[in-house]
Amino acid sequence: MSFLEYAPAPESRAVLSLKPEYGLFIDGDFRSGSGESFATISPADEKHIATIASASDADVDAAVGAARRAFDKTWSKMSGRDRGKYLFRIARLVQERARELAVAESLDNGKPIKESRDVDVPLVAAWFFYYAGWADKLDYAGLGADPKPLGVAGQVIPWNFPLLMLAWKIAPALAAGNTVVIKPAETTPLSALIFAEILQQADLPPGVVNIVTGAGPTGAAIVRHPDVDKVAFTGSTGVGREIAKSVAGTDKKLTLELGGKAANIVFEDAPIDQAIEGIVNGIFFNQGHVCCAGSRLLVQESVHDEVVDRLKTRLSTLRLGDPLDKNTDIGAINSREQLERIRELSRIGEEEGAERWSADCVIPDNGFWFAPTIFTNVQASHRIARDEIFGPVLSVLTFRTPAEAIEKANNTPYGLSAGIWTDKGSRILAVADRLRAGVVWANTFNRFDPSSPFGGYKESGYGREGGRHGLAAYLKGARA
């Protein structure tokens, strides 16, 4: 089969005016960090982008101090209407600087520009607009009369959706009247630092949001700081467990959004063409670096061969390469470490007897890349059916009856999301009702909206982000 070749269509980097070095954003200004600075690189070619400060315990203490002062003196005293004005202003500035943010995100993270441009950044603006609207309506959120903020929120986020996770954390916290110390992931600090410039442009009072860069120890320093009232974490289940231990026995509030191993269930009556697109979007969107990715395809036995054949044909048309090229479907894996993990689990999948198929794409010489891959003949006991791979790897299992599909879908330590593909509305409702997953998509996948709560069961964590529920995590005594 031959396809039309696409000429390169790179998005211009000229829109970015990066500094060679970035400090910590504390109390409204950038300052140098006392930890050892580190480089952030582009995962697509391993080239240096900028030097980033690392926050020591003392720097984290300064950030928490600034957040506390801002909470006591300005932010908790301000009316909800005025807080809302700042959030609306931030949302508008994100829109104004959308191209720059999208280019920075794709450069630093490796995700295709069409995703950062059309999904991540618009959702970031949407999140701020949405929570801006709540800031003066907290009394009507059904979370108690005159609900009060918690105080200083310490937030630690991962590298897969750097700016979007920042928005998920900061927007509800500020709307509810809290102040923030947030740490982006060490491989993707860039968009958060540009966001800090946006906060300056928005004239947000100093100390309301503090952005400290660094690796795990900086995150741990935020989590254990005695003057932090609330910890919000998104990342791996292993680190989530450590954080839960560190917070146990204190009166800090905690929400955790951890891993997943979602089942995407395709019944034989499903519209197959749409299902194929949904499966591809479910696991190959953002190189599969998605905690709610549909990484386990459960397909009814009668349509298994057809679905797998069509999937392979579709995957053969995906274009892997330069994340800044507007035609790219599959970008770079975010780091060498993550690439190694994906390779290792795929190797184990082959050893355990599953059958591996990878799309035949040209892998660039430099950078971190992994071709879209499907494993068939996967058993529920295989590591590739149980462990979160967090990469462009799909494990295909089969089922005969709806009951078997539900049992297999729930046979996981996780419970973040699931998908159902069928023509029958009644089946969607019946199956969704029995899936132990925080979000269930029907005849679609990976759809996000700020008004819709998101979160997990079991080892996927606890608490909800988004919607009215997302406010509850930042208000005293509130239960969504």
Positions in the binding site for ligand ADP (CB under 6 A): 156-159, 183, 185-186, 215-216, 219-220, 223, 235-236, 239, 242-243
Contact between 54 and 215 (Cβ < 8 Å): yes
User: Which residue lies nearer to ligand ADP by CB, 291 or 475?
Assistant: 291
Report the side by side order of strands in the sheet with 296-300. Answer: 355-358, 373-376, 393-399, 296-300, 263-266, 417-421, 439-442
Question: How many alpha carbons lie under 13 Å from residue 137 in its C-beta half-sphere?
Answer: 10
User: Which residue lies nearer to ligand ADP by CB, 16 or 215?
Assistant: 215
Q: Minimum CB separation from ligand ADP for residue 183, in Å?
A: 6
User: Which residue lies nearer to ligand ADP by CB, 156 or 280?
Assistant: 156
Q: Minimum CB separation from ligand ADP for residue 384, in Å?
A: 17
Catalytic residue, chosen from 257, 388, 459, 465, is 257
Catalytic residue, chosen from 100, 291, 388, 465, is 291
Spatial distance between the Cα atoms of 230 and 252, rounded to a whole number of angstroms: 5
Q: Minimum CB separation from ligand ADP for residue 101, in Å?
A: 19
* Residue whose Cβ sits closest to ligand ADP: 219
User: Which residue lies nearer to ligand ADP by CB, 23 or 467?
Assistant: 23
Which residue bears the tokens 């005016």?
17
Q: Minimum CB separation from ligand ADP for residue 287, in Å?
A: 13
Q: Minimum CB separation from ligand ADP for residue 168, in Å?
A: 14
Spatial distance between the Cα atoms of 245 and 225, rounded to a whole number of angstroms: 14
User: Which residue lies nearer to ligand ADP by CB, 67 or 221?
Assistant: 221
DSSP H or E run through 440: strand 439-442
Q: Is 257 a catalytic residue?
A: yes
CB crowding 90-128: b at 16 or more within 10 Å, else e: bbbbbbebbbbbbbbbbbbbbbbbbbbbebbbbbbbbbb
Spatial distance between the Cα atoms of 225 and 152, rounded to a whole number of angstroms: 10
Amino acid at 97: R
Q: Is 344 a catalytic residue?
A: no
Spatial distance between the Cα atoms of 231 and 180, rounded to a whole number of angstroms: 10
**Token pair recorded at residue 440:** 């269930």
Q: Which residues are catalytic?
A: 257, 291
